[in-house]
Amino acid sequence: MGFNDWVNYVAFDNPISKTVSSAILKPKKLPTSSNITVITEKTPLWKLVNECGPFIRIGALMGASAVALGAYGSHRTYPKDSMTELKPVFEIANRYHFFHSLALMTVPLCRNPKLAGTLFISGTVLFSGTLYYKAFTGDDKFQKIAPIGGTILILAWLSMVV
C-alpha cells in the first residue's frame, strides 16, 4: 500500500471516514428565505474581498501606514533629554498599530464584522494615535485617551468571540 493508497483509504475508503464525510459533504437543502450564500465553484480570494466589506482594505491601509510611521519614527531624531522616554512610547504605538491592522484583516471571518471592525479601527486610532502624538510632540495632553483606546481594543477582540 503506497502513500496515496493510504491517504485514499483514510479519507474515503474506511467505514468511519465514509460516514463522517457523507455527513459533512452531503448537500443540505437550505430554506429559500435564508441569507446564506453557497459557493459552488472556486472563487479567487481577491473577488471574495469585495464581498467582505471594507475591513480588509482598511486593514491593508492601516498596515501600510504602520510601516510608514515605523520607518519615520525609527529614523527620527528625538531630543536627547527625552529620548529614553519617547522612543519606547513610539515603539509601543507602532507595534499595537501593526498588530491590530493585521487583526482587522481577519474581521470578515467573525460573526459580527461591523462591530468588530469598528472597534478595531477606533481602538487603534485612540490608543496608537495618542501614543504617536506623545512620541512625536512630547506633549501629554491626550494621554488619558490611550486607556480608553486600549479598552476598546480588548472589546474588539472579545467581539470576535460572540
Averaged over 18-22, what is the pLDDT?
A: 48
Is residue 142 within 8 Å of residue 134, measured between CB atoms? yes
Stronger pLDDT, 118 or 47, i.e. the higher one:
118
This prediction's pTM: 0.68
127 and 51 housed in the same domain = yes
pLDDT (0 to 100) of residue 57: 87
Within a 10 A sphere around the Cβ of 3, how many other Cβ atoms? 7
137 and 60 housed in the same domain = yes
Distances (CA, A) of 93 to 15, 66, 140, 146: 54, 9, 14, 10
- Counting the structural domains of the chain, the total is 2
25 and 81 housed in the same domain = no
What is the domain range of residue 29? Answer: 1-38
Residue 61 has pLDDT above 90, yes or no: yes
Using one digit for the tens of pLDDT, what is the confidence trace for 91-111?
999 999 999 999 999 998 888
Using one digit for the tens of pLDDT, what is the confidence trace for 121-151?
999 999 999 999 999 999 999 999 999 999 9
CB-based burial of residue 65 (10 Å sphere; 0-12 exposed, 13-18 middle, 19+ buried)? middle
CA neighbor of 58 nearest in space, from 104, 1, 12, 89? 104
